[in-house]
Amino acid sequence: MARTTYIAGNWKMNTNKADALALAKALVERLKGKGGTYMIGVPFVYLDAVGAVVKGSNILLGAQDVAATANGAHTGEVSTAMLKDVGVTSVILGHSERRHEIGESDELINKKVRRALADGLEVVLCIGELLAEREAGEAEQVCAFQLSAGLAGVTEAQLKRVTIAYEPVWAIGTGKTATPADAQAIHRFCRDHIAKLYSRQAADDIIIQYGGSMKPENAKELLAQEDIDGGLIGGASLKADSFAAICEA
């Protein structure tokens, strides 16, 4: 089955309200009528306002994290119910900045994945190895572990609402990109690992994005690889021109 191309932007802790609204408005215009799936991962405080801008467009509203627990006494947390209340359909989980800066464990990420899926959200689950792990020849092992741990307890039916983002940590925000051949090799490995965890059909259907300094200049070659079905874009998602150019690639 042909997989749709899925390009997601991760705005991280960037923009202010005016810039967020202007960026969202520009993207709605630029992506109007284009095929494929598009999502923007917006800072929590701007989700409501940006949601009003993308409503009715072909751009999905995404959050960059969610609580593992339901509403209640959890100071500072944001629940799935709150996200859905403002129109969020998708959530980015397991991003390397949350794994390595905040210290999120695979166990916590898995709880968030299961919570988001149980409550009807779509998940982009990020995985990827550190530079030292790649140099030690452990990239596949790390990805396999993060996939197995992140998806523990997720049913094959729920997996239809999961996208995997392979993001080698050494390529995020550094300007370094995996070569298309290296990225393709890991994507194929991850797809085969999904086949082992679920089924060949599930593996063939799942969308696997590449993330790590993807930009208009390298997007075409990366997206041309057989097992690279889209991108999770950080820096280049903050300008309508560069994000739209990647979507057009």
9 binds ligand PEP (CB under 6 A): no
CB within 8 Å of 4: residues ≥ 6 apart: 35, 36, 37, 207, 229
Please choose, out of 44-52, 101-109, 180-188, 229-237, the segment that lies near ligand PEP by the rule CB under 6 A. 229-237
Q: How far out from the chain centre does Cα 82 lie?
A: 20
228 binds ligand PEP (CB under 6 A): no
176 binds ligand PEP (CB under 6 A): no
Q: How many residues does the chain have?
A: 249
Min dist. Cβ of residue 173 to ligand PEP (A): 4
> Which residue has the CB atom at the shortest distance from ligand PEP?
234
Residue 167 among the catalytic residues: yes
Nearest residue to 121 (alpha-carbon basis) of 132, 113, 129: 113
The one catalytic residue among 104, 133, 167, 193: 167
The one catalytic residue among 95, 129, 133, 193: 95
Min dist. Cβ of residue 212 to ligand PEP (A): 5
Longest Cα separation, the chain? 47
Strands (E), the chain: 6-10, 37-41, 59-63, 90-93, 122-127, 162-166, 208-211, 230-233
Min dist. Cβ of residue 198 to ligand PEP (A): 25
213 binds ligand PEP (CB under 6 A): yes
Choose, by CB under 6 A, the member of 124, 211, 222, 240 that binds ligand PEP.
Answer: 211
Judged by DSSP in three states, 142 sits in helix
The DSSP code for 154 is -
Q: How many residues in the shown chain lie near ligand PEP by CB under 6 A?
A: 13
Q: Which residues are catalytic?
A: 95, 167
